[in-house]
Chains A and B, each alone.
Chain A
Amino acid sequence: MSAKKARKKEQPAPDSGSPIGAALVVGGGVGGIQASLDLVSLGYRVYLTDSGPSIGGVMGMLDKTFPTNECSMCILSPKMVEVASNDNIEVITLADVEEIAGEAGDFTVTLRVRPRYVDVEKCTGCGDCTAKCPVKVPNPYDAGLGITRNIRVPFPQAVPGAAFIDPATCRYFTKGKCGNCVKVCQAKAIDFEQKEEMRQLKVGAVILAQGFTPFDPRLKPEYGYGVFPNVITSLEFERILGANGPTSGHVIRPSDGKEVRKLAFVQCVGSRDCLVNRGYCSSVCCMYATKQSLIAKEHLATVEPTIFYIDIRAYGKDFERYYQNAAARHGVRYVRGLVSGIRERQRTKDLLLRYLDDSGCMQEEEFDMVVLSIGLEPPRGLTSGLGVGLNEHGFLQSDKFQIFQSTREGVMVCGAAQEPRDIPDTVTLASAAAARASQIIHAGRNTLLTRTEYPPERDVKGEEPRVGVIICRCGSNIGGFVDVPKVVEYARTLPGVAWAEERIYACSQDAQEWIRQKVREHGLNRLVVASCTPRTHQPLFQETLRTAGLNKYLYEMANIREHCSWVHMQEPEKATRKARYLVRMAVEKARLLEPLQEGESEVIPRALVLGGGVAGMNAALSLARSGFPVYLVEKEEELGGLARSIRISQKGEDVQAYLRDLIGQVEKEELISVFLGHRVVDIGGYVGKFRTLVRDSEGRESLLEHGAIILATGGRQHRPAEDYLYGKDERVITQWELEERLEEEGAEAPRSVVMIQCVGSRDDRRPWCSKVCCTEAVKNALAVKERWPQAQVYVLYRDIRTYGFREDLYRRAREKGVTFIRFADDVSPTVNNLGVKLQVAVKDAALGGETVYLDADLLVLSVGVEPNPDNGELAPMLKVPLNADGFFLEAHMKLRPVDFSTDGVFLCGLAHAPKSIEESVAQAVAAAARAETVLAKDRIITEGVVAQVDESSCSGCRTCVALCPFEAITFDETKGVARVNTSLCKGCGTCTAACTAGANRIQGFRFDQIISQIVAASKAWND
């Protein structure tokens, strides 16, 4: 920490006239963190404020994330550390925005910064003060469930990792005496004299990412929250599930600490509820209740979770599969029913839940504990001083198509402050907001940055290996199952180990300084961290190594969590033994590590956007407006893509007008070169330097050179092959065809319109939810009612998934008399052609499955979205994967939603998954931001893990030349040896395994290094 502080400079004065190359990000949750990291990569200085004492937001409190059940802190913490260690991001905690004056490009922001009473520069986060603090307070990090002391580091991975004092409960401030903390603090960091201060910042753009406030369930007194101890909120339950939470992950209830067997989730508490003035859907509760049920069962197999719901809204990518698995394979019980009240048995504190079941009968059931799935509401004081508008629900108002744009130019919004949303959507919007900011301030790019100066790399050649080993406890994640001291002891006996110690969280910010200190103290020249997976944490520790003056490749990881403590939880002895073995393997390899040099390559500051639909055009425009030329390639002869068939957006906007305007902007934009009627033939090269061959229908080819690729090739509408007489009877149409008919003058008024949902979605062949069809149906039902008020409209559905503010449409539709009939999953409606009319038969779930017959003049099919059939052809050219459904698969479902794992290639729109137009736009602009982070660099640092040919051993057989998947190896005829182009080499090592002479070596995974691991495994076993 101090290393960074020492390097931090005052903000240089910007040139007058051009926009200020700095931005303010308000709110340090995952949205704010992503926006900050993107902005700084784009070349802007960033101020990141949070009203609390640390960044991290609600995501930092979550145990796991859906639908991959990944550890939330594990994926967030590296990003927090990245923020903390970046010289060009200043984190300002305990700060609120007082005023934003000025205009886009030149804002003056006034911050009110509350005193921390602890000097962040001096505090080491050692915790001595906390130990001596006499004041016990409920721990806000544990949602108030656990007890902590008044002076404390907010949570182990906090950034900044310094303590703070809450003056409202501090004995010194309330009673004028105490000061224990001052006495014990050896760093002399405590400062009661700190005063609130006003700070002014000059920035060119502002991104609002204040997140949400959880609904207060006391407003629903019938659920007894705050009265019955065993009724808790979902956020509190999240902490109970957390291994670092108040019960260390034991699923026990507050009243008596008894293990929970019967567990109920009550959905929509503070959502879809006009009685408490929260008419919107909170979008995430169905999924988090499912996740919490699964995790609870994982922690305690005897738990029987029941989720009481109205509709299960599993609308996102892979959500439906997650939900279906939870129900079918993990024993999560889903009960459709509205819970009307909860009573408590006084003696046992058990809870009686009354609910209206599917058939309208009142039922009562007893539970040990009830979790209220509380909704998301806008933070209080959301707009004060910001000069931006709010919508009718009190969230930040945004543009209809550009949902990341607030009502004030230069001020962007992201995350749940704009509408309730999940992590990937928040991250997407954050990147989009950063791109929008860049459009405004790009003339000030790189003007206010300070460059990170790493200490010179120590030359370790010739030194005997001195390996440092850290065994991470990861709270109880490792420490709870592996005897960590024993592993440390073993590590100390291994050859080459100069130092070994354990640490509660090796990834926390203070641990990084500790590591640097140990490297110096013990003259370490290799580092092994035995903790979690290198796939997420290796970069963090490598960065620490660099700041400690060592080459970052002198680092090896032993994964004793994912591959050990978590998978051998019932066998602590074996887990401990295995951890020792894994550590030995890592140490033996570490001894053979050598410093590697990273290459540099130039960047062609131009992008290729594949697909000229709404997503592709938005991505192209965003990049062009930030100053980068773009090739826009569309296979059809005109721009517009799928949106050409859509009349009205979900928000009621005229899509065709929007599209005409968008196409006009693209055509006008000088930096965009459009290639209509072109297909991609071949893509070569690598990040920074791609070469793409495109061909038009007459066979003319163009070779395009560019530094990044955005894939926006879209999806397509499912063609109902004769389902429900589609194509056979002209009265059977799709929603889009209905929209056309609604616009037709003189169209005949139908007496009865029947809509069928989930046609080509959520079935065996297409197991995903198409996300948009429910809203489309509801919107069109309203339009039918508008145009032909006499018409009867029936919507036959399974779950109505009008998430977020779309719920308003659903409610309005019901108010207008649209009839919604739910059919059981396994029994789709059937259609009979009776000549003059169509007759639809449906088993009505509300009538106990009784068949209802509906006459239809129009039968409207809500058809789903399908992946583009071309995807299979494009994926290998781009070297990117598809998921099981045939959509493109991003690098990380939560935190890298628009990136591919192939560097320099990004993803947006329907190619990723079904979504609405405005979501496609947001994703497109987010992808543009991510591409811009590549293009904005002058050069790219290439990996050190590449193949290398030892010329003296190479026999010149050329086998490796033929085997390289990236054509990175050429044959040097004069020397008669193979040669590797390190810019093209991806380090797969296919060549090395083919080289019988061992002349071709993959750095970091050398032959002798892997053999050393094999031998180490054997030695460990023989010990």
Chain B
Amino acid sequence: MAEANGRRNTADEDIRILAFLCNWCSYAGADLAGVSRLQYPAQVLDVRVMCTGTISPYFVIKAFQEGMDGVIVAGCHIGDCHYLKGNYMTAKRFQFLQRALEVFGIEKERLRLEWVSAAEGEKFANLIRDFTRTISELGPSPLRQGRKEVAVR
């Protein structure tokens, strides 16, 4: 696989993204992307939660500690929350966390907050495509290097 742009490819292959999706909107949007057979990069794994309001900033930090290169938090559009205002908290928590990551030395681009509705399969697919591109441009998270059992391909 080590061809001309093999280096870049390897980086792309090795990108690790974790996405937290709320059950009612973004998970459903991802379902719709699937039903619509929209193709997007496979380096993303998702965790379903009932509402993004349940996502603690700990999870994001933990994900980085565990060697994720990027984290997505996606929920209902403001006003569409199945639980009324759970996503208001999400907005507050994660808009702040994005900036706080920089204080710790983690690029804020590695955390993406996005609103994806159940009808936005296309938006979900685009989000994954775009975020994967962003992360592969940033490269693997330096935190991953710190692990004892660094996965070297």
Interface residues of chain A, those whose CB is within 8 Å of chain B, are 64, 68-71, 298, 533-535, 559, 561-564, 566-571, 574-575, 577-578, 581-582, 585, 876, 879, 881, 883-884, 901-902, 945, 963, 965-966, 986-990, 992-994, 1002, 1005, 1007, 1010-1011, 1013-1015, 1017-1018, 1021-1022
Contacts and interface: CB of A to CB of B under 8 A. Distances in A.
Contact of A1010 (B49, B53, B83, B119): B49
B34 A578 contact: no
A990 B54 contact: yes
Given A564-B34, A1014-B68, 11 more contacts: A535-B23, A559-B48, A563-B46, A568-B40, A879-B82, A965-B86, A988-B51, A1010-B49, A1011-B62, A1017-B16, A1018-B16
A568 B18 contact: no
Interface in B89-132: 89, 93, 119, 125
Given A901-B24, A1010-B59, A1018-B66, A1005 B50 contact: yes
B33 A901 contact: no
A298 B37 contact: yes
A989 B53 contact: yes
Instruction: Determine which residue in A298, A570, A993, A1017 has the highest number of CB atoms from chain B within 10 A of its CB, and name it.
Output: A993
A881 B151 CA distance: 45
B55 A993 contact: yes
A74 to B, nearest CB: 8
Contact of A563 (B24, B34, B43, B86): B34
A879 B84 contact: yes
Interface string B117-153: 0010000010000000000000000000000010100
Contact of B80 (A881, A1002, A1015, A1022): A881
Nearest to B18: A1017
B32 interface: yes
Interface string B30-66: 1111111111101101111111011111110011001
Nearest to A1022: B151
Contacts of A1002: 50, 54
B153 to A, nearest CB: 11
Contacts of A581: 45
Contacts of A1010: 47, 49, 59
A1010 B60 CA distance: 11
Interface of B: 16, 18, 23-24, 27-28, 30-40, 42-43, 45-51, 53-59, 62-63, 66-68, 79-86, 89, 93, 119, 125, 149, 151
Contacts of B51: 988-990
A957 to B, nearest CB: 16
Given A533-B31, A567-B33, A1013-B47, A965 B39 contact: no
For the complex of A and B, list the 4 residue pairs with the smallest distance between their C-beta atoms, beginning with the closest. A989-B54, A562-B34, A990-B53, A988-B83
Contacts of B85: 965, 990
Given A562-B35, A566-B34, A1002-B54, A990 B83 contact: yes
Contact of B42 (A533, A575, A585, A1017): A575
Nearest to A880: B82
B54 A988 contact: yes
Contacts of B57: 993
A71 B35 CA distance: 7
A986 B24 CA distance: 13
Contacts of B55: 993
B100 to A, nearest CB: 15
A585 B45 contact: yes
A1018 B50 contact: no
Contact of A566 (B35, B53, B54): B35
Nearest to B93: A993
Given A561-B34, A1011-B59, A578 B45 contact: yes
Contacts of B36: 69, 298
A965 B31 contact: no
Contact of B35 (A70, A966, A990, A1005): A70
Contacts of B119: 883-884
Contacts of A1022: 67, 149, 151
Contact of A1017 (B32, B66, B82, B125): B66
B89 A567 contact: no
Nearest to B128: A567
7 contacts: A533-B31, A534-B48, A564-B42, A988-B51, A1002-B50, A1010-B59, A1017-B16
Given A69-B35, A993-B93, A563 B56 contact: no
A69 to B, nearest CB: 6
Contacts of A993: 53-57, 89, 93
Nearest to A945: B50
Given A567-B34, A988-B53, A1011-B59, A901 B66 contact: no
A828 B23 CA distance: 43
A892 to B, nearest CB: 10
B89 A963 contact: yes
Contacts of B24: 901
Contacts of A994: 89
Nearest to A556: B48
Contacts of A1011: 58-59, 62
Nearest to B64: A1014
B1 to A, nearest CB: 12
A559 B119 CA distance: 18
A876 B87 CA distance: 14
Nearest to B82: A901
Contacts of A563: 30-31, 34, 46
A568 B42 contact: yes
B59 A1021 contact: no
Contacts of B18: 1014, 1017
B45 A562 contact: no
B31 A569 contact: no
Contact of B84 (A70, A535, A568, A876): A876
B50 A68 contact: no
A575 B41 CA distance: 10
A558 B140 CA distance: 26
Contacts of A68: 32, 35
B45 A567 contact: no
Contact of B31 (A535, A570, A571, A879): A535
B103 to A, nearest CB: 19
Given A534-B48, A582-B45, A1014-B18, A1021 B67 contact: yes
A569 B62 contact: no
A535 B16 contact: no
Contacts of A1014: 18, 47, 59, 62-63, 66, 68
Contacts of A578: 42, 45
A75 B107 CA distance: 42
A879 B86 CA distance: 12
B37 to A, nearest CB: 5
Instruction: Determine which residue in A567, A994, A1010, A1021 has the highest number of CB atoms from chain B within 10 A of its CB, and name it.
Output: A567
